[in-house]
């Protein structure tokens, strides 16, 4: 991301009022928000500060590195000069309170763009893969610009060893962005999908690395049928056609926004254009691109949908849509068909860049929301921008623009000073609105509600650990423990929740999620599926293991617990 992006992002034409699309009128409203969601900034009380202050945050991931049941947090930064930021940091979660880990090896100084905790060697603990946007630098003070990706082996209880050089997955000179884990060949070892963008005249070389065992990886991009040039600001892996094989979506302006379907043979073929139009025709600035991507079932029909985030320097002038929803309309002959229903379902334009996106149920009512890492403020309280899911009408999910109308923004004064340092100062002083590049969700305190961490890109602004205090229904968290040909974390497993006593009945489906790590933008999540259950106190659970691994079932499961389903 361009460090001047907050100013460029708000640079509007002088005749703003007559230039905005109609949907932009929804950005301005009374100062008091009408919201279904309540969050508290818990960064201080949870112990992240002062360590996480003054960072140029640009990547982070959640994962339980010491096996104590609580997810730990790795924060990546654009460290060193000229950003004047601290280096990457690991925070150990002790029952909802964080303590900074002082291992020197993890405190990388580079240009962070993502982090995922994955058990690559199936030994029962989580290893760490962190990406960096490496670019050439001839100045000693910015030599860290060339820092490649890093791979750390978890030896025991969160003690890490750098195995990057011998891994084969940390190539020098790659401007990497997001990353995701998948088992594309069904051997029980988790492989790596790494997205790249390139701003220096070269081509984008998004890569698939095959896990050869013992934390050794091989570049198989060409071998599996993926293009040798494709931009990956955002990457995600998931089963979109129900064949239990991982498919991959790669998002980006140049040669990106493409869906590739996996096969039993370990090859990928692109979804025909007739089955989906993922193109965005509104790129005007060099900073404009599609960005994060996530999979999920937003309308509970048992089909996997796709949400794509945006990264526009002037989001008001790109048709008023900041996040797009591609609804899965069904699968024929193994080929899914997707329809862009963004405008029909209420996904109005956004007032800032929205690079990170997720599909999560934040109020546990059973209908998953669409979340993007923009936060508005009212009376010093944070309101993450969440599109509230109100269920299905006439075959389409219905989203309300929850918290989008907090404060008047942008004001005339904002537009006048948008290109100066005064805007930066005003942004901090008024706590009006901010966005984060990553923003991975996680129930960090294990209270059954989905929280989030948003590392701030601007060293003068505050990073946010947002604790979910929403009045919520019952919930169920599901993890999957595989063995043999199914990876130990169960990544790639599809979890379905049904009304109690109605296991497998389509009309009784309460939710569907896939166990996944690494989606949205520059973010890493836990290998767990969270479901809101509303008033239901019991449910039936079905787990479809990846790569024809079979099905696991559990009936009469009690709500409000973290359920481990094991082979």
pLDDT, tens digit, 9 for 90 and up, residues 171-218: 999 999 999 999 999 999 999 999 999 766 678 899 999 999 999 999
CA distance 116 to 125: 13
> Which contiguous run of DSSP H or E holds residue 17?
helix 16-19
DSSP string, 296-321: E-SSSSS--EEEEEEE-SSGGGTTT-
Report, as an integer, the average pLDDT of 161-173.
97
Could you tell me the pLDDT band of residue 371, with boundaries at 50, 70 and 90? very high
The verdict on 150 and 229 lying in the same domain is: yes
Query: Is 232 a member of any domain?
Result: yes
The verdict on 323 and 413 lying in the same domain is: yes
Could you tell me the pLDDT band of residue 7, with boundaries at 50, 70 and 90? very low
Report, as an integer, the average pLDDT of 4-12.
30
Least confident of 24-33, 57-66, 368-377, 478-487: 24-33
Q: Tell me: pLDDT of 158 over 50.
A: yes
Report, as an integer, the average pLDDT of 309-324.
73
The verdict on 442 and 486 lying in the same domain is: no
Could you tell me the pLDDT band of residue 421, with boundaries at 50, 70 and 90? low
pLDDT at 319: 54
132-149 pLDDT, tens per residue? 999 999 899 999 999 999
Query: Is 132 a member of any domain?
Result: yes
The verdict on 512 and 536 lying in the same domain is: yes
Report, as an integer, the average pLDDT of 274-294.
86
Containing domain of residue 358, as a range? 39-468
Residue where the block lists tokens 């590739």: 260
Query: Is 25 a member of any domain?
Result: no
The verdict on 44 and 184 lying in the same domain is: yes
pLDDT at 490: 98
Angle at 521 between CA 5 and CA 178, to 5 degrees: 105
First-to-final CA distance of the chain:
43
Q: Tell me: pLDDT of 26 over 60.
A: no
Query: Is 315 a member of any domain?
Result: yes
Q: Tell me: pLDDT of 295 over 70.
A: yes
Report, as an integer, the average pLDDT of 536-564.
98
The verdict on 184 and 263 lying in the same domain is: yes
pLDDT at 348: 84
pLDDT at 280: 87
Query: Is 118 a member of any domain?
Result: yes
CA distance 407 to 508: 41
pLDDT at 75: 98
Q: Tell me: pLDDT of 543 over 60.
A: yes
Q: Tell me: pLDDT of 38 over 60.
A: yes
| 9-13, Cβ contacts within 8 angstroms, sequence gap of 24 or more | 9/312, 9/313, 9/314, 9/315, 9/352, 9/353, 10/410, 10/414, 10/415, 10/418, 10/423, 11/313, 11/314, 11/418, 11/419, 12/314, 12/316, 12/410, 12/415, 12/418
pLDDT at 77: 98
The verdict on 502 and 460 lying in the same domain is: no
Query: Is 21 a member of any domain?
Result: no
Instruction: Output the pTM of the full model.
Output: 0.92
**What is the count of structural domains for the chain?**
2
Please give the distance of CA 256 from its chain centroid, rounded to a whole number: 17
The verdict on 117 and 251 lying in the same domain is: yes
The verdict on 482 and 448 lying in the same domain is: no
Q: Tell me: pLDDT of 162 over 80.
A: yes
- Of the residues 414, 435, 468, the one at which a domain ends: 468
The verdict on 498 and 454 lying in the same domain is: no
The verdict on 408 and 280 lying in the same domain is: yes
- Starting from the edge strand earliest in sequence, which strands make up the sheet with 207-213, in order? 176-182, 191-196, 207-213, 216-219
Greater pLDDT, 397 or 415: 397
Q: Where are the beta strands (DSSP E) in 379-431?
A: 381-393, 396-400
The verdict on 403 and 285 lying in the same domain is: yes
CA distance 566 to 265: 26
Distances (CA, A) of 428 to 2, 178, 185, 380: 19, 28, 48, 11
89-116 pLDDT, tens per residue? 999 999 999 999 999 999 999 999 999 9
Could you tell me the pLDDT band of residue 255, with boundaries at 50, 70 and 90? confident
Least confident of 11-15, 61-65, 289-293, 562-566: 11-15
Look up residue 18 and give its DSSP letter. Answer: H
- CA-based nearest residue to 479, from 61, 39, 59, 67: 67
pLDDT at 408: 59
Q: Are 527 and 180 in contact (CB under 8 A)?
A: no
Could you tell me the pLDDT band of residue 29, with boundaries at 50, 70 and 90? very low
pLDDT at 415: 63
Query: Is 24 a member of any domain?
Result: no
- Of the residues 449, 468, 487, the one at which a domain ends: 468
Greater pLDDT, 354 or 433: 354
CATH number, domain containing residue 221: 2.130.10.10
pLDDT at 315: 67
Query: CB atoms < 10 A from the CB of 313, how many?
Result: 21
Report, as an integer, the average pLDDT of 389-400.
93
Report, as an integer, the average pLDDT of 313-330.
78
Query: Is 7 a member of any domain?
Result: no
Average pLDDT, whole number, for the chain?
A: 89
- Of the residues 468, 503, 533, the one at which a domain ends: 468
Could you tell me the pLDDT band of residue 6, with boundaries at 50, 70 and 90? very low
CA distance 90 to 64: 11
Greater pLDDT, 21 or 260: 260
- Starting from the edge strand earliest in sequence, which strands make up the sheet with 538-544, in order? 509-514, 494-499, 538-544, 551-558
């Amino acid at each position: 991301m361009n460090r001047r992006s907050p100013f460029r992002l708000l640079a509007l034409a002088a005749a703003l009022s007559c230039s905005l699309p109609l949907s932009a009128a929804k950005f301005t409203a009374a100062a008091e928000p009408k919201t279904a969601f309540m969050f508290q900034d818990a960064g201080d009380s949870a112990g992240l500060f002062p360590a996480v202050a003054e960072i140029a945050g640009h990547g982070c991931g959640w994962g339980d590195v010491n096996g104590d049941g609580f997810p730990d947090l790795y924060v990546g930064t654009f460290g060193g000069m000229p950003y004047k930021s601290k280096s990457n940091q690991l925070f150990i979660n002790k029952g909802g309170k964080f303590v900074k880990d002082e291992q020197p090896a993890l405190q990388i100084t580079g240009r962070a763009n993502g982090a995922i905790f994955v058990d690559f060697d199936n030994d029962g603990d989580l290893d760490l893969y962190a990406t960096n946007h490496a670019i050439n630098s001839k100045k000693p003070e910015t030599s860290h610009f060339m820092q490649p990706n890093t791979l750390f082996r978890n030896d025991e209880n969160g003690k890490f060893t750098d195995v990057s050089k011998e891994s084969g997955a940390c190539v020098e000179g790659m401007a990497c962005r997001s990353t995701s884990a998948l088992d594309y060949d069904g051997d029980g070892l988790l492989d790596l999908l790494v997205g790249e963008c390139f701003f220096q005249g070269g081509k984008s070389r998004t890569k698939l690395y095959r896990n050869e065992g013992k934390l050794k990886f091989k570049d198989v991009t060409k071998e599996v049928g993926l293009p040798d040039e494709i931009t990956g600001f955002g990457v995600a892996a998931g089963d979109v056609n129900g064949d239990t094989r991982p498919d991959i979506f790669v998002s980006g302006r140049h040669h990106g926004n493409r869906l590739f379907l996996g096969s039993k043979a370990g090859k990928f073929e692109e979804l025909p254009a007739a089955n989906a139009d993922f193109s965005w025709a509104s790129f005007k600035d060099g900073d404009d691109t599609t960005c994060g991507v996530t999979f999920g079932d937003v309308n509970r029909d048992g089909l996997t949908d796709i949400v794509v985030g945006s990264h526009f320097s002037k989001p008001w002038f790109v048709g008023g849509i900041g996040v797009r929803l591609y609804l899965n309309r069904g699968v024929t002959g193994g080929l899914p068909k997707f329809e862009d229903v963004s405008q029909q379902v209420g996904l109005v334009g956004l007032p800032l860049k929205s690079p990170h996106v997720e599909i999560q149920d934040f109020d546990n009512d059973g209908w998953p929301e669409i979340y993007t890492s923009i936060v508005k403020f009212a009376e010093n309280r944070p309101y993450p921008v969440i599109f509230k899911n109100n269920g299905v009408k006439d075959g389409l999910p219905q989203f309300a623009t929850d918290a989008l109308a907090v404060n008047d923004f942008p004001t005339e004064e904002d537009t006048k000073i948008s290109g100066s340092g005064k805007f930066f100062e005003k942004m901090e002083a008024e706590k009006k609105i901010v966005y984060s590049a990553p923003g991975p969700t996680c129930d960090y305190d294990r209270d059954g509600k989905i929280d989030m961490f948003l590392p701030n890109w601007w060293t003068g602004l505050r990073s946010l650990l947002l604790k979910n205090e929403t009045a919520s229904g019952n919930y169920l968290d599901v993890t999957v423990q595989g063995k043999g040909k199914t990876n130990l974390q169960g990544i790639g497993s599809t979890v379905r929740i049904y009304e109690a006593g109605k296991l497998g009945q389509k009309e009784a489906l309460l939710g569907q999620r896939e166990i996944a790590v690494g989606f949205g933008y520059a973010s890493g999540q836990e290998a767990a599926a969270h479901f809101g259950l509303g008033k239901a106190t019991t449910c039936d659970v079905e787990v479809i293991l990846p790569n024809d691994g079979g099905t696991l079932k559990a009936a009469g499961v009690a709500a409000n617990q973290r359920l481990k389903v094991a082979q």
